[in-house]
């Protein structure tokens, strides 16, 4: 049987213009929260269009988003929703 997610109240609408200071601050706070709970998946903190989910996933993977440049993060999408987790610092073997 399918599981459904019910909420008591609608979440607060977060207006984050792409590339604006609100987005940068929110993503920095999100990255810090992920670092506080390594290995735990978290839902992306604001709504993004289904067409751009893979773009955000790749930007995290290739470290082109400033908030996710230090340490190692993984991103995955399920049903057009982006999830991210912090997996720790990258280990290099000198190669």
Domain ranges of the chain: 21-88
Q: What is the pLDDT along the chain (95 residues), one digit of tens a residue?
A: 778 777 788 777 655 556 667 788 889 999 999 999 999 999 998 888 889 999 999 999 999 999 999 999 999 999 889 999 999 976 544 44
Output the pTM of the full model: 0.75
CA 46-34-85 angle, to 5 degrees, is 85
Q: Among residues 40, 41, 43, 48, which one has the least CA distance to residue 23?
A: 48
What's the confidence (pLDDT) of residue 66? 92
What's the confidence (pLDDT) of residue 95? 41
What's the confidence (pLDDT) of residue 46? 84
């Amino acid at each position: 049987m399918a599981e459904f997610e019910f909420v008591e109240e609608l979440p607060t609408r977060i207006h984050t213009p792409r590339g604006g200071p609100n987005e940068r601050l929110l993503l920095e706070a999100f990255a810090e929260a992920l670092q506080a709970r390594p290995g735990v998946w978290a839902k992306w903190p604001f709504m993004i269009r289904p067409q751009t989910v893979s773009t955000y996933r790749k930007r995290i993977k290739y470290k082109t988003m400033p908030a996710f440049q230090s340490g190692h993060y993984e991103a995955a999408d399920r049903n057009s929703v982006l999830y991210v987790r912090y997996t720790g610092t990258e280990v290099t073997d000198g190669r």
